[in-house]
Amino acid sequence: MKTKTLAQLRREKRLTQREFAKAVRLHPSTVAMYETGKRTPPLKTAIKIARFFGVPVEAIYFGDDARTTRALQPMGQKKQQNKQFSKQKNRFNLGEITFHRLLSYHNTTNTR
C-alpha cells in the first residue's frame, strides 16, 4: 500500500501482528512480509484483509492513489481523460488497468 500502509491500518485497530494474523487466519510471518513489502497478498487474501479493515480491496495494493480512482471510472469518463493523460509522462501499466477492471467487476457482482 502507498498512502496508508497495512501496518498503519493494523495499528489503528491496536492489534499486534500476531493478533491480526489470527483474526484473518494468516501466519504471523506472512503478515510481516506483507507489511514490509517483501510479499504481495493474492487477491483472495487481499479481499479478506480489506473486509477486515473496511477498506476497498484496491487500498490493500495501491492505497488511495489517484491512478486507482481513475482506473475504476466508467468508460465514458476514461475516454476524455485518456487524451489528456496520453500527453503526460506517466503512463498506466496495462496490467494494472486490467486488474482494476477485473476487481471492479468482482466487487459489483459479489456485493451482499
CATH for 1-63, among 1.10.1520.10, 1.10.260.40, 1.10.3720.10, 3.10.20.90? Answer: 1.10.260.40
- Number of separate helices (H) and strands (E) present in the chain: 8, 0
As a whole number, mean pLDDT of residues 33-45 equals 91
Cα–Cα separations (whole angstroms), residue 43 to 61, 76, 77: 9, 27, 27
Residue of 31, 30, 27 lying closest to 11 (CA atoms): 31
Domain extents in the chain:
1-63, 65-112
- pLDDT tens digits, residue range 11-23? 999 999 999 999 9
- pLDDT tens digits, residue range 46-102? 999 999 999 888 888 876 554 445 455 555 555 555 555 444 444 555 566 666 667
| Dihedral angle, C-alpha 92, 5, 49, 61, nearest 10 ° | 10
